Amino acid sequence: EAQVTQNPRYLITVTGKKLTVTCSQNMNHEYMSWYRQDPGLGLRQIYYSMNVEVTDKGDVPEGYKVSRKEKRNFPLILESPSPNQTSLYFCASSSNRDRSNQPQHFGDGTRLSIL
Amino acid sequence: AQKITQTQPGMFVQEKEAVTLDCTYDTSDQSYGLFWYKQPSSGEMIFLIYQGSYDEQNATEGRYSLNFQKARKSANLVISASQLGDSAMYFCAMRGTSGSARQLTFGSGTQLTVLP
């Protein structure tokens, strides 16, 4: 089954404790992306990756890091989480990065609470 | 930069009636795609429908259709014969083809409630 898998689905942690949210897709997609969703703001892009070893900042990259060492994986790293990073996070992937008609496939989301 | 505007934070519709969710967009790209996603209370993002900027006909997918008016830069979602299971948050999004416009930009969403 084609899917995007995020882990963990839920996490409560404390300020300053490094955490990683993993994302894996089995569709051989070149393009992967991370979003955060906050009430009234919709989804905002954090980072995206056009292919292996190619990443770029989205609209709200501050406080986050990513890496793309393998095509299928795109982890999101919070080196020193703060309460303003409490949010619902989505990983997404799509193929044909140069075309605008490919819908992004989303993971089920990760709900992070930073105390 | 591209921008999506959804002006209806919440909408109510009676079961079996049709409803239109508004979406306007702004972009300098000549070629772009418009998408609608549904997010039920369980949280997952479900792709509903796509419209390309060069498509001459409005997209349809079952009970969903997209009323695309390019000159007015609008891409409204029409849901016919609403069902209780249609109650969800709906997001309009667009993706261009050049540079940073290739990222998917979302509107703030419309919460639809279908009344029995």
- pLDDT (0 to 100) of residue B96: 78
- pLDDT (0 to 100) of residue A99: 59
Cα–Cα distances in Å, from B106 out to A31, A49, B92? 17, 18, 6
| pLDDT tier for residue B55 given thresholds of 50, 70 and 90 | confident
Taking an 8 Å cut-off on Cβ atoms, the answer to whether A42 and B107 are in contact is: yes
- pLDDT (0 to 100) of residue A50: 86
Taking an 8 Å cut-off on Cβ atoms, the answer to whether A103 and B102 are in contact is: no
Enumerate the residues of chain B whose CB falls inside 8 A of the CB of residue A100.
31-33, 52-53, 95-97, 102
Taking an 8 Å cut-off on Cβ atoms, the answer to whether A33 and B103 are in contact is: yes
Average pLDDT of B60-72?
A: 95
**% of chain B with per-residue pLDDT over 90:** 80
CB-based burial, A7-38: b 16+ in 10 Å, e otherwise = eeeeeeeeeeeebebebbbeeebbbbbbbbbe
Taking an 8 Å cut-off on Cβ atoms, the answer to whether B102 and A98 are in contact is: yes
The mean pLDDT of chain B is 92
d(CA A85, CA A12): 12
> Cβ-count burial of A57 within 10 angstroms (0-12 exposed, 13-18 middle, 19+ buried)?
middle
- Residue bearing tokens 């992967």: A32
Enumerate the residues of chain A whose CB falls inside 8 A of the CB of residue B32.
100
Longest dimension (CA), chain B: 46
Enter the DSSP assignment of A104. Answer: P
Taking an 8 Å cut-off on Cβ atoms, the answer to whether A100 and B43 are in contact is: no
- pLDDT (0 to 100) of residue B100: 58
Is the pLDDT reported for residue B99 higher than 70? no
- pLDDT (0 to 100) of residue A96: 62
> Cβ-count burial of B33 within 10 angstroms (0-12 exposed, 13-18 middle, 19+ buried)?
buried
Which position has the higher pLDDT, B97 or B34? B34
- pLDDT (0 to 100) of residue A104: 86
- pLDDT (0 to 100) of residue A97: 54
Closest-CA residue of B relative to A107 is B44
| Amino acid type, A30 | E
Average pLDDT of B67-72?
A: 95
CB contact A95 to B (< 8 Å) = no
Average pLDDT of B86-104?
A: 83
Lowest average pLDDT, out of A110-114, B72-76, B95-99, goes to B95-99
Taking an 8 Å cut-off on Cβ atoms, the answer to whether B45 and A103 are in contact is: no
- pLDDT (0 to 100) of residue B58: 94
Cα–Cα distances in Å, from A11 out to A6, A111, B109? 12, 6, 25
CB contact A48 to B (< 8 Å) = yes
Residues 6 or more apart from B22 whose CB is under 8 A from it? B6, B7, B8, B74, B76, B110
- pLDDT (0 to 100) of residue B103: 76
Residue B45: which of A41, A44, A106 has the nearest Cβ?
A106
The pLDDT averaged over each successive group of 10 residues in chain A (115 residues) is 93 96 95 92 91 91 97 97 97 74 88 96
Average pLDDT of B13-38?
A: 94
| pLDDT tier for residue B92 given thresholds of 50, 70 and 90 | very high
Residues 6 or more apart from A36 whose CB is under 8 A from it? A43, A44, A46, A60, A85, A87, A88, A89, A90
